[in-house]
């Protein structure tokens, strides 16, 4: 009997069969019970009839869908990869801030990561490197507050091009954190991305909300670079619906513009960053909206000033659920976590979309939610990552 079972296993055409699952494919629209045959980690067959495999999983009563693709994930550590895998993510990319040394970043993770990974060549870290900025992750000195010379702009262009040639899938920008970067400097970086067919993943400039959005759409139109606006509900705030209308209008005129959102009304960043320049004498209510990640405490003016000198992560409870729901429900907004450490989005973004916004609020159908978490981000990447 044991020999017969062994021979049957050896003869089985697939390494693994997932049986009886509700297979949902946002690209083809398939939503039906199917059997999936997998060999060497690659799907070989999706069948209405039962399949034979060396191993099998009975997925009766469960949905079988593509793994989720997170285009905006900071803090890519073994701990983060484990949390992402538990949230259904099989590919996580650091495309907003990015890194300055593509080769070193990939070498550090090769053969060790629990999920697929990737990083952009980042305007922020390249600018920090050239200006000797002391910031740990985001600029805290000259890279945030000093204009670049023509020579530095030329060197930034060279380093971005080198990163793209070494395998970076995109160019990352956090213009809100590098306010001293001129519009000309940003345009020059877009030109590099355009020459390499790479998308620009951008946290738009702070200040007038419409102005920051228009700056990068203009840069995309001038250079031909694909554009991806990160966390539209966070940057757009009360104007989120208007931002989405502008993005839709730009697309209707042939521009390659996409966007993303995360399903939380609270954001997170570094307290020493340029985003908090000029906060020394704000009303008490503004400080109360800030939460210090290390302790969970809400801030006062005194604690804000203390922690700003110290540096670290702070959560801002400054958005509205209406802005979040507008973005989540919009057909152009894909889902990305913007996760790091200390914020629930780091481990619960995709489950929250499926639970709160799909099952409970019914802002999305299940197929729409899956499309935003699988097909849409894959399509954003496919030009550089087939």
Cα-based torsion angle of the residue sequence 32, 33, 35, 38 in order, rounded to the nearest 10 degrees: 50
pLDDT at residue number 26? 98
Quick count: other Cβ atoms within 10 Å of Cβ 315?
20
Cα–Cα distance for residue pair 302/312, rounded to 1 Å: 16
Q: Which positions of the chain have pLDDT values less than 70?
A: 1-11, 207-209
The pair phi, psi for residue 129, each rounded to 5°, is: -60, -45
Q: Give bridge partners of residue 315 from the DSSP assignment.
A: 268, 291
Topology alike, domains 10-64 and 68-265+320-381: no
pLDDT at residue number 206? 83
pLDDT at residue number 12? 76
- Cβ atoms of residues 15 and 39 within 8 Å: yes
Burial class of 335 by CB neighbour count within 10 A (0 to 12, 13 to 18, 19+): buried
pLDDT at residue number 6? 46
pLDDT at residue number 7? 44
- The C-alpha angle with vertex 250 and arms to 244 and 255, in degrees rounded to 5, equals 130
Among the listed residues 172, 216, 230, 171, the one whose alpha carbon sits nearest the alpha carbon of residue 195: 171
- Cβ atoms of residues 140 and 272 within 8 Å: yes
From residue 96, give the alpha-carbon distance in Å to each of 123, 165, 206, 373, 385: 9, 18, 15, 17, 17
Give the class (CATH, top level) of 10-64.
Answer: mainly beta
pTM of the model: 0.93
Tell how strand 68-70 and strand 199-203 pair up: unpaired
pLDDT at residue number 298? 97
Burial class of 141 by CB neighbour count within 10 A (0 to 12, 13 to 18, 19+): middle
Among the listed residues 97, 337, 120, 380, the one whose alpha carbon sits nearest the alpha carbon of residue 228: 380
Query: Domain residues of the chain, as ranges?
Result: 10-64, 68-265+320-381, 266-318
Among the listed residues 44, 48, 43, 17, the one whose alpha carbon sits nearest the alpha carbon of residue 32: 48
Among the listed residues 35, 22, 34, the one whose alpha carbon sits nearest the alpha carbon of residue 62: 22
Among the listed residues 203, 139, 200, 217, the one whose alpha carbon sits nearest the alpha carbon of residue 338: 203
Q: Give bridge partners of residue 33 from the DSSP assignment.
A: 22
CATH architecture of 68-265+320-381: Alpha-Beta Barrel (3.20)
What sign results for the dihedral spanned by CA atoms 72, 77, 78, 80? Answer: negative
pLDDT at residue number 386? 85
Residues 6 or more apart whose Cβ sits within 8 Å of residue 52: 8, 11, 12, 13, 14, 17
């Amino acid at each position: 009997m044991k020999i017969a079972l062994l021979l049957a296993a050896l003869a089985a055409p697939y390494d693994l069969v997932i049986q009886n699952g509700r297979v949902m494919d946002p690209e083809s629209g398939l939503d039906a019970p199917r059997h999936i045959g997998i060999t060497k980690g690659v799907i070989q067959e999706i069948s209405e009839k039962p399949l034979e495999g060396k191993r099998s999983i009975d997925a009766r009563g469960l949905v079988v869908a593509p793994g989720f693709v997170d285009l905006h994930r900071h803090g890519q550590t073994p701990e983060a990869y484990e949390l992402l895998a538990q949230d259904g993510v099989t590919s996580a990319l650091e495309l907003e801030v990015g890194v300055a040394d593509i080769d070193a970043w990939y070498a550090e993770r090769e053969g060790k990561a629990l999920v697929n990974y990737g990083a952009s060549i980042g305007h922020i870290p390249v600018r920090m490197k050239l200006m000797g900025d002391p910031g740990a992750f985001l600029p805290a000195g000259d890279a945030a507050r000093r204009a670049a010379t023509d020579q530095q702009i030329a060197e930034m262009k060279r380093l971005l091009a080198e990163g793209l040639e070494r395998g970076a899938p995109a160019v990352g920008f956090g213009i809100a954190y590098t306010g001293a970067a001129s519009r000309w400097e940003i345009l020059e970086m877009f030109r590099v991305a355009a020459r390499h067919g790479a998308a620009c993943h951008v946290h738009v400039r702070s200040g007038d909300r419409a102005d920051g959005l228009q700056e990068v759409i203009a840069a995309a139109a001038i250079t031909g670079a694909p554009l991806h606006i990160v966390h539209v509900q966070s940057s757009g705030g009360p104007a989120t619906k208007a931002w989405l209308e502008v993005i839709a209008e730009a697309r209707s005129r042939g521009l390659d513009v996409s966007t993303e959102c995360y399903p939380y009304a609270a954001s997170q960043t570094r307290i020493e960053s340029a985003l908090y320049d000029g906060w020394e004498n704000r009303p008490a209510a503004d400080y109360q909206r800030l939460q210090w990640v290390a302790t969970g405490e809400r801030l006062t003016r005194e604690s804000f000033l203390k922690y700003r000198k110290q540096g670290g992560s702070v959560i801002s409870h400054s958005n509205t659920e209406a802005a979040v729901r507008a973005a989540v429900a919009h057909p152009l907004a894909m889902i990305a976590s913007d996760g790091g450490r200390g914020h629930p989005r780091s481990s619960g973004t995709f489950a929250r979309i499926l639970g709160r916004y799909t099952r409970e609020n019914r802002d999305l159908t299940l197929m729409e939610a899956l499309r935003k978490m699988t097909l849409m981000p894959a399509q954003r990447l496919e030009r550089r990552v087939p």
